[in-house]
Amino acid sequence: MDEKTIIHIALSVLVVLLVIVNGVKYGVVGLIIVVFGFVSLGLILLIAFADFLIFPAFTKLLNIVIVPSKGYIIPKSQDAIIKYSNGIYYATGYLTANIYNYIFAQEQVQEEDMALAAAPDKWEKAIMNIHFPFKFNIVAVAEEVQHYREELEAKRGLLEFQYSKETQGSNPNPMGLETIQRQINVIQARIDRIGEGERPVNSIMYIESTAVGVSQKEAMDRLTNQLNELSTVFNIFDLSIARIMGREMYLVHNFNYRVPSIGELSSEFDQQK
């Protein structure tokens, strides 16, 4: 959660708490105020952590259709962007898909290499099974190399210190030593890759597909089928796939026309690392 969101939460919650504190003295009415206060707190937290649930519910309830630009509509279900052109409805939907794993977790370097070697085969197998238009998008921004390298070197220094401390102890634990050594190897591999010219990146990955139909409902039904099929096909990469809805769908739709700035990326999304 970024600074801006924390400020928004803090001030909004402060208003709610002020209402609760001022309201408790009114007896039964005070009790109602307190209940409303807690409902408001719940709403604020839901918007903060699960607005993809709240916003479509809100647009469905009020029957709101959003027109993001001329010729396009976002229906009240907030799960697709529809374009009507030449008597045909084009429904476009999005899925999250974090494949690109540059900043690897605590895994062995050997496994990382194997995963990289297997990726082209997996990709081609996936593509061969898809018979409708789709896009796999990676929005990436390279991090500041020097700063990232210094961070890694500091981490490596700390681990090397822990390793030497462990070996100098009276009863060194072989399992612990192995774990520390593996962590050092992982960090060293990252430093080496940076030395070879590779830059660490922050990225957002998503899949986009478009379906057609002679009615809006038909196009949206077909889109749901296509997205389900894409989820199945891309499972080969062992991904966590979810349908993008509401606000984030509108944002990624705009990425077609304008690649976002670093500020927008960091403030609107929890970036995938």
Partner 1 sequence: MPSSNQEMVIFIVIAAVGFVFATLTGLPPASLSPVALLLAIIALIAAVLAFATRYYYYLYAPVLRSKSGSVVLDPDDAFYMSQNGNAILVRKDNLIYATSFIKVPVYSSSTEMNDEQKFNFSNVFSRMVSISKTPIKVTSQLYSINKDDYIARVTSRLNEAEARYNAIQLDKNASKPQLDRIKGEVTMWHNLLDSVSKANSQALDVYAAVTVFGGTEEEAMNMISLKADEVAAGISATVGVSASVVTGADMLVLVEPEYMIPPTTISELMRYSQNQQTQNMM
User: Of the two residues 62 and 175, which places its CB atom closer to partner 1 in the complex?
Assistant: 62
Chain centre to alpha carbon of residue 74: 21
Shortest distance, CB of residue 108 to partner 1, whole angstroms?
15
In Å, what is the CA distance from 152 to each residue of 112, 116, 165?
18, 22, 20
* Cβ 185 to partner 1 shortest distance, Å: 18
Residue 79 has which token pair? 């799960």
Q: How many Å apart are CA 254 and CA 265, to the nearest integer?
A: 12
Query: Least Å distance between CB 267 and partner 1?
Result: 8
Name which of 115 and 177 has its Cβ closer to partner 1.
Answer: 115
Least distance CB 156 / partner 1 (angstroms): 21
SS3 at position 100: coil
Per-residue tokens: 51: 């607005």
Of residues 133 and 169, the one with the C-beta less far from partner 1: 133
State which residue, 135 or 165, has the beta carbon closest to partner 1: 135
Contacts of 177 (CB under 8 A, 6+ apart): 163, 166, 167
What does the alpha-carbon distance between residue 131 and residue 89 come to, in Å, rounded to a whole number? 19
